[in-house]
Amino acid sequence: MTAAAPTVPDALETLRDRVAELSFGLAVPGRADAAREARAVVDQVDDYLLPRLRDLDAPLLAVVGGSTGAGKSTLVNSLLHADVTRAGVLRPTTRAPVLVCAPADRAAFAGDRVLPHLARTTGAPGGPDDGHGALRLVAHDALPAGLALLDAPDVDSVVTANRDLAAQLLAAADLWIFVTTAARYADAVPWDLLHTAVQRGTAVAVVLDRVPPEARDEVADDLAGMLRRAGLSAARLFVVAERPLDGGLLPAEEIAPLRAWLLGLAADQEQRDAVVRQTLAGALDSLSDRVTGLLAAEEQQHAAARTLQEAADAAYARARQEVDDAVAGGALLRGEVLARWQEFVGTGEWMRGLQASVGRLRDRIGSAMTGRRTSPEQVQASLGSSVADLLQAAADSAAERTATSWRSLPGGTALLAGRERDLEAASPDFPDAAVDEVRDWQGEVLELVRSEGAGKRARARWLSWGVNGAGAVVMVAVFASTGGLTGGEVAVAGGTTAVGQRLLEAVLGDAAVRSLAARARADLRERAGRLLDTERARFADLVTAAAPAPDGITRLRAAADGLATARRSR
């Protein structure tokens, strides 16, 4: 029935991979925390959960952690009554963790079973510091088999790497031996860690070190109260009074209770198992909450990506609308284009084919008198550059609008960083692209006109005007046939647009002209849309590159469900 159900380690591995895939690429508030948490989950699975699940009988790893100067290294040395790790007055002293185990357990820690990312070294204490990527492995007789002690770097000094490494090591522990002092026990930073331990159900023992003998009871009571209120009443509390050190070691009687407890733990398989299982179960249980937190952060990434994408979409949709309006509203027929058109039609070149003789005569004379000729190519050229100008301004504004709104959106500023000036305007090659696209459009219109005119009865007349002339009329009709010109402007145009169009209708037929114009307009819109899309892609690509994978959430949720199922069916 559960033939296909994965084992817990397999399900865990899947979950780990899913978490490792999260990129948190958008710099939204809380991004750094989420990324750190994701890394912590991955590390804990690698460092602790998988090795522990695969070998429940492996030696118990007790990590001695806490504030700088609390006396962790001194404590470890004193417990072993040997100099295995360096203690010192300079803060922080310990940077590379030191793992001490019984010679018999050496094999369990020498390989990459636990903490696989830390290289093992075996130098003597007091030698050069091994740095943060290394773990010094010491086998020592003083320690019974089944128990290993790890002297961790501090959790609160200015050395950031120490803090990160300490958190990672604590997450890899079967048991925390949390060292604090009479001066430290109310510090916020270690308490944050203790609260985490409570959430994760980690087995904790607290050592209150360096207590002035006279204040022993008062301080111990105060701390015990704090532990109780934090839900750590089950944690053992060991108090070590501050006395002069003997050769750098604490007096044996001060640490006797702690020592006895640890040795007992090592000797008692059952008790050790209980500790191992408590921490393991707690860590596994807490995973679902931690993954929920990661899912929320991932959701936030998605939302931010969506918002950024929408801002760009809106800006470019508006640009497209501007262009559409200008095209449909006849706005292009003003100014330069209108002047050229008037000249073109006004010279009578068009009228030559017209049968109405008065107009013809008048225009011929007019043309003879002014001697001016505007070719259809000039009309097309002015129309073309107008369209290109329009596209340029639309693309510029859209880029600027997008950049401006991104600056106020979560994650937007970081995406723009270093590219602000490029992204505030259309891309440098946009003008050329726009001109090319408009030229192609005009070619397309001429092609349309040519094929439309080919089969017409009035071919002879048609040819006398030239495809170019007819094309110019269609182009103008694209912008005029929706009635963009107001009455006054039609008067300025001398009714010539309408005349030209009617003329064309006479040749090609009313419906044909309308469909030609409609097709030409649709083509222009499509081209404008394409150009603006390319521009929008500059923004869209930035978001896409930083945005989370679309199915990341589903996959992560499925992996978390998979782990829950695997645990239940065990």
Q: Which of 547, 544, 302, 540 is nearest to 423 (CA)?
A: 540
Long-range contacts of 555-560 (CB under 8 A, 24+ apart): 555/18, 555/21, 556/15, 556/18, 556/19, 556/22, 556/291, 556/294, 556/295, 556/298, 557/295, 559/11, 559/14, 559/15, 559/17, 559/18, 560/15, 560/287, 560/288, 560/291
Q: Which residue, 93 or 180, is less far from Mg ion as judged by CB? A: 93
Q: For the window 456-495, what string marks contact with other proteins as x by the rule CB under 8 A?
A: --------------------------------xx-xx---
Nearest-angstrom CA–CA distance, 115 and 117? 6
Judged by DSSP in three states, 121 sits in strand
Q: Is 68 in the site for Mg ion (CB under 5 A)?
A: no
The least distance separating other proteins from the CB of residue 328, rounded to whole angstroms, comes to 10
Per CB under 5 A, which of residues 72..111 are in contact with Mg ion? 72-73, 93-94
Q: Torsion angle, CA of 247/253/254/257, rounded to 10 degrees?
A: 130
Q: Is 554 in the site for other proteins (CB under 8 A)?
A: no
Per CB under 6 A, which of residues 34..93 are in contact with ligand GTP? 68-74, 87-89, 91-93
Q: Which of 107, 142, 161, 215 binds other proteins (CB under 8 A)?
A: 215
Q: Torsion angle, CA of 386/392/395/397, rounded to 10 degrees?
A: -90
Q: For the window 111-150, what string marks contact with ligand GTP as x by the rule CB under 6 A?
A: ----------------------------------------
Q: Is 14 in the site for Mg ion (CB under 5 A)?
A: no
Rg (CA), the chain: 40
The least distance separating ligand GTP from the CB of residue 122, rounded to whole angstroms, comes to 20
The least distance separating ligand GTP from the CB of residue 71, rounded to whole angstroms, comes to 3
For 14-38, the DSSP string reads: HHHHHHHH----S--TTHHHHHHHH
Nearest-angstrom CA–CA distance, 18 and 296? 15
- Using CB under 5 A as the binding criterion, the count of chain residues that bind Mg ion stands at 4
Q: Is 444 in the site for ligand GTP (CB under 6 A)?
A: no
Q: Which residue, 249 or 449, is less far from ligand GTP as judged by CB? A: 249
Which one-letter amino acid corresponds to residue 192?
A: D
370 binds, among Mg ion, other proteins, ligand GTP, none (CB under 5 to 8 A by kind): other proteins
Which one-letter amino acid corresponds to residue 98?
A: V
Instruction: Work out the number of other CB atoms within 10 angstroms of the CB of residue 499.
Output: 18
Judged by DSSP in three states, 484 sits in coil
- Using CB under 8 A as the binding criterion, the count of chain residues that bind other proteins stands at 65
The least distance separating other proteins from the CB of residue 70, rounded to whole angstroms, comes to 8
Interface with ligand GTP by CB under 6 A: which residues? 68-74, 87-89, 91-94, 153-154, 209-210, 242-245, 250
Interface with other proteins by CB under 8 A: which residues? 67-70, 89-92, 156-160, 163, 181-189, 191, 210, 212, 215, 218-219, 222, 322, 325-326, 329, 331-339, 362, 365-366, 369-370, 386, 389-390, 392-394, 396-397, 400, 404, 407, 420, 425, 488-489, 491-492
